[in-house]
Chains A and B, each alone.
Chain A
Amino acid sequence: MNYLLETKNIVKTYGDFTALNKVSIQVPEKSIFGLLGPNGAGKTTLIRIINQITLPDSGQVFFDGRPLQLNDVHYIGYLPEERGLYKSMKVGEQALYLAQLKGLSKAEAKKRLKYWFEKFEIGDWWNKKVQELSKGMAQKVQFIVTVLHQPKLLIFDEPFSGFDPINANLIKDEILELRNKGATIIFSTHRMESVEELCDDITLIDKANKILDGNLQEIKRQYKTNTFEVGLHSPDPDKLRKEIASKFKISTANFKSLEEDLKLNIKIDPKDSARDLIKYLSEKTAINHFVEVIPSVSEIFIKAVETNKRN
């Protein structure tokens, strides 16, 4: 697999505090990469190192297969968590300025801005001052500025904070479209449902250490517990429950349904298959509901962090 960005053993300390301890990540090309972790784990420090805002104490960053260079900032678009605009500057002028700092010519920047302003239906903001805009409006402008120079790598740190649901959706769709057009995206967030929806790969950082990484599907497979959520019909649910409990490890399940008498989580041995379970259950009674329990990112996240805490 081709990695657009790789970090190798990044170490960063602030005095006695270690922000990153030998963190290596691999970001596959043309994918969305989730960088996850609790507050203060070191995500932002890592992102700043990739953006060459902060220098690592040791370790290396590779971009497109070679060591990261100063000029690579032109191929990276970064939307930081702490973001804002010059308040007393006009929107258009400011967008032009920021685009030029990313290496675009004035004419080219103007052309592209026109396209994006029309797309987001904010063409009439051009001559407004930023202080007249609402927070959500300003964020739209920031998003445009981030993607305007068509960077190979896009880094979004909590991109949805401050957006209302409609605009958050708009941005989400844009992110997916950018990926489909060939951009690679690093995506750092606490909102696990958006990770679920967007990310192809994830890396989990906790207390300066990488504790989990890989393809999201594979990780889910690793974390699944061979547990199935079932809804059963029975004239005597208590009896049925006891019967099943004698064969499997069970617990009470909780899901919305219309008429099941018995709702269970049934854990089977990894050697057994779902088929055997269905066979066994259907011999006993009618099955209305049968779903494999797949751990959510949020559950994986919590589990991984707790395991890390114990170690």
Chain B
Amino acid sequence: MDKLKLIIVREFLAKVRNKTFIIMTVLGPILMIGMVALMAFVTKSSIDKTRTVSYVNKSHYFTSDDFQSTESLKFIDLSHLDIEAAKQTVKETDQYGLLYIPNSSSIDGIIKKIQFFSNESPSVIFTERIERRLDKRLGFLKMKELNIDIEKVKKAKIRSEIQLQNFEGKETSKFINEIKLGIGTIAGYFIMLFIMIYGAMVMRSVIEEKTSRIIEIIVSSVKPFQLMLGKVIGTAGAGILQFIIWGIVLGILYIFLLPILGINTNSQISQEQLEMVKEVAANSKIELLIQELWQLPIATIMISFLLFFIGGFLLYSSLYAAIGAAVDNETDTQQFMLPVIMPLMLGIYIGFAVVINDPHGTLATTFSMIPFTSPIVMMMRIPLGAPLWQIVVSLILLLLTFIAMIWLAAKIYRVGILMYGKKPSYKELWKWLKY
């Protein structure tokens, strides 16, 4: 096993010392932060922009009190002008548009007659905001007209609150489910990302050994299987190191850089979202939320994440290694990549399409058992409370498939690493298995 250790160390160092690796390790967080900052900046500037709107109010239903300016919306009263003159005035400025409320004898008459003039068609959010303002005033007037006691209406407003409980009588909150789903999604997505990036790295490393023709020297000292295993483990180590560095750097940057950039995280959330969050937070008692967070099977989640992460990576990277051994250069890998990437994509798709709606249904359960999708799908299900026996069965299946797969991959690997100049077909790979 000393040789395996040597190989692992060499592979690890070869990856870590690689220029691209170093550059990506440094640039990764900067790029990510940059992306987030850019997105935040764009969102912020579009939301924070104060829009100036002029209005011509010819109706007695509205007063200037109904057009109070807010942070994002500024009103200019042009009611002293007639509509044509007002249009002309607004056109010459860079105002967002002109709201025109004509006179009408009835509330019902006026609702269809209000107009908004602008150069470009206004955004949906904007029109909704204006409409809400108008509705509030007109609704108030309508109630008055119908002799409805406004105070009574206010009193009659009811908000029901469903208390969630499971059959054991434990209270649950709605919000916690979102968090659980979030944890699962992040874990599943992380596994997929890791497999794709570092699996391909294993493959490239095998191809490099073939093209540099060192492979035969190595396999005259160690078994091809040892070399393959060492490569997979060494690469995984380098990958984990990179992810840890990214995590730490991102954390530090988040704490120190964000305030400097002046990005207020709150401002990204629009008014509606904020209301929703408040609503949810109000509905679910905060103490209950925290209590439930603590009751999440954290140990189960962590342990199974580790196991599924390792299992999934080993399974896929042995496939990547076999592909690398079968071909002579990276361009030839295309035809073999599809069957590797497909199940990963399927896993993510099932996760988003099925697990979210029906986490413990037949479809989700099935795909969380199939070894090629299980690391992703099962990880999404676990925080939502997948039964322990299913997790265990899924892990056993994953382990068995991994053993079978690495055995097959090693056979292809053993033959493939010594084959030069041929671009093998699937049929040929099948033959290699029997050599």
Q: Do A and B bind each other?
A: yes
Q: Say yes or no: is A33 at the interface (Cβ < 8 Å to chain B).
A: no
CB-CB under 8 A from A83, the residues of chain B are: 213-214, 216-217
Whole-angstrom CA separation of A96 from B223 in the bound complex: 19
Stretch at the interface among A84-92, A172-180, A194-202, A224-232: A84-92
B: interface residue count bin: 20 to 34
B194-231, CB under 8 A of A: which get 1 and which 0? Answer: 00000000000000110011101111111110000000
Whole-angstrom CA separation of A73 from B219 in the bound complex: 10
Contact partner, B6, options A80, A82, A86, A101, Cβ 8 Å:
A101
Whole-angstrom CA separation of A73 from B218 in the bound complex: 11
Question: Is A145's CB under 8 angstroms from B212's CB?
Answer: no
CB-CB under 8 A from A52, the residues of chain B are: 220
Give the distance to chain A from B261, nearest Cβ to Cβ, in Å.
38
B5-37, CB under 8 A of A: which get 1 and which 0? Answer: 011001000100010000000000000000000
Contact partner, B212, options A86, A97, A100, Cβ 8 Å:
A86
CB-CB under 8 A from B18, the residues of chain A are: 88
Contact partner, A98, options B14, B209, B216, B221, Cβ 8 Å:
B221
Q: Say yes or no: is A36 at the interface (Cβ < 8 Å to chain B).
A: no
Question: Is B435's CB under 8 angstroms from A88's CB?
Answer: no
CB-CB under 8 A from B14, the residues of chain A are: 86, 88-89
List the B residue with the shortest CB-CB distance to A48. B418
Q: Say yes or no: is B420 at the interface (Cβ < 8 Å to chain A).
A: yes
Q: Say yes or no: is A156 at the interface (Cβ < 8 Å to chain B).
A: no
CB-CB under 8 A from B10, the residues of chain A are: 97
**Known contacts being A48-B418, A87-B212, is A76 close to B431, with CB within 8 Å?**
no
**Known contacts being A14-B435, A53-B418, A100-B6, is A84 close to B214, with CB within 8 Å?**
yes
Whole-angstrom CA separation of A53 from B219 in the bound complex: 6
Question: Is A76's CB under 8 angstroms from B220's CB?
Answer: yes
CB-CB under 8 A from A14, the residues of chain B are: 435
Q: Say yes or no: is B3 at the interface (Cβ < 8 Å to chain A).
A: yes
Which residue among B10, B214, B219, B420 has the maximum number of chain A CB atoms within 10 Å of its CB? B214
**Known contacts being A53-B219, A88-B14, A101-B218, is A82 close to B435, with CB within 8 Å?**
no
Whole-angstrom CA separation of A142 from B212 in the bound complex: 13
Whole-angstrom CA separation of A80 from B210 in the bound complex: 13
Question: Is B3's CB under 8 angstroms from A101's CB?
Answer: yes
Question: Is A85's CB under 8 angstroms from B214's CB?
Answer: yes
List the A residue with the shortest CB-CB distance to B211. A84
Question: Is B212's CB under 8 angstroms from A82's CB?
Answer: no
Whole-angstrom CA separation of A228 from B435 in the bound complex: 51
Q: Say yes or no: is A102 at the interface (Cβ < 8 Å to chain B).
A: yes
Question: Is B6's CB under 8 angstroms from A53's CB?
Answer: no
CB-CB under 8 A from A84, the residues of chain B are: 212-214, 217
Q: Say yes or no: is A21 at the interface (Cβ < 8 Å to chain B).
A: no
CB-CB under 8 A from B435, the residues of chain A are: 14-15
Whole-angstrom CA separation of A178 from B229 in the bound complex: 35
Give the distance to chain A from B185, nearest Cβ to Cβ, in Å.
38
Q: Say yes or no: is A301 at the interface (Cβ < 8 Å to chain B).
A: no
Give the distance to chain B from A137, nearest Cβ to Cβ, in Å.
15
Q: Say yes or no: is A51 at the interface (Cβ < 8 Å to chain B).
A: yes
Contact partner, A78, options B214, B217, B222, Cβ 8 Å:
B217
CB-CB under 8 A from B217, the residues of chain A are: 78-80, 83-85, 98, 142, 145
CB-CB under 8 A from A88, the residues of chain B are: 14, 18
**Known contacts being A88-B18, A97-B10, is A53 close to B221, with CB within 8 Å?**
no
Whole-angstrom CA separation of A87 from B213 in the bound complex: 10
Give the distance to chain A from B227, nearest Cβ to Cβ, in Å.
10
Whole-angstrom CA separation of A102 from B2 in the bound complex: 11
List the B residue with the shortest CB-CB distance to A78. B220
Which residue among A78, A86, A88, A101 has the maximum number of chain B CB atoms within 10 Å of its CB? A101
Give the distance to chain B from A10, nearest Cβ to Cβ, in Å.
15
Question: Is B221's CB under 8 angstroms from A101's CB?
Answer: yes
Whole-angstrom CA separation of A258 from B325 in the bound complex: 61
List the A residue with the shortest CB-CB distance to B209. A86
CB-CB under 8 A from A51, the residues of chain B are: 219-220
A183-207, CB under 8 A of B: which get 1 and which 0? Answer: 0000000000000000000000000
Contact partner, B216, options A76, A82, A86, A100, Cβ 8 Å:
A82
Whole-angstrom CA separation of A79 from B213 in the bound complex: 12
**Known contacts being A14-B435, A88-B14, A101-B221, is A80 close to B212, with CB within 8 Å?**
no
CB-CB under 8 A from B209, the residues of chain A are: 86
Question: Is B220's CB under 8 angstroms from A73's CB?
Answer: yes
List the B residue with the shortest CB-CB distance to A89. B14
Give the distance to chain A from B18, nearest Cβ to Cβ, in Å.
7
Whole-angstrom CA separation of A145 from B221 in the bound complex: 12
Whole-angstrom CA separation of A87 from B214 in the bound complex: 9
CB-CB under 8 A from A101, the residues of chain B are: 3, 6-7, 218, 221-222
CB-CB under 8 A from B223, the residues of chain A are: 70
Question: Is A85's CB under 8 angstroms from B219's CB?
Answer: no
Give the distance to chain B from A161, nearest Cβ to Cβ, in Å.
12
**Known contacts being A53-B418, A86-B212, is A97 close to B220, with CB within 8 Å?**
no
**Known contacts being A82-B420, A88-B18, A97-B10, is A53 close to B216, with CB within 8 Å?**
yes
CB-CB under 8 A from B7, the residues of chain A are: 101
Whole-angstrom CA separation of A2 from B433 in the bound complex: 38
Give the distance to chain A from B206, nearest Cβ to Cβ, in Å.
13
Return 18 A-B CB contacts under 8 Å, by A number: A48-B418, A51-B220, A53-B418, A54-B418, A70-B223, A76-B220, A78-B216, A80-B220, A82-B216, A83-B214, A84-B213, A84-B214, A89-B14, A98-B217, A101-B7, A101-B222, A142-B217, A145-B217
7 tightest Cβ-Cβ pairs between the two chains A and B? A84-B213, A101-B221, A80-B216, A78-B220, A84-B212, A51-B220, A84-B214
B residues with CB within 8 A of A: 3, 6-7, 10, 14, 18, 208-209, 212-214, 216-224, 418, 420, 431, 434-435
Q: Knowing that A78-B217, A88-B18 touch, tell me 12 more A-B residue pairs with CB under 8 angstroms.
A: A15-B434, A52-B220, A53-B220, A53-B224, A53-B418, A73-B220, A83-B213, A83-B214, A83-B216, A84-B212, A84-B213, A89-B14
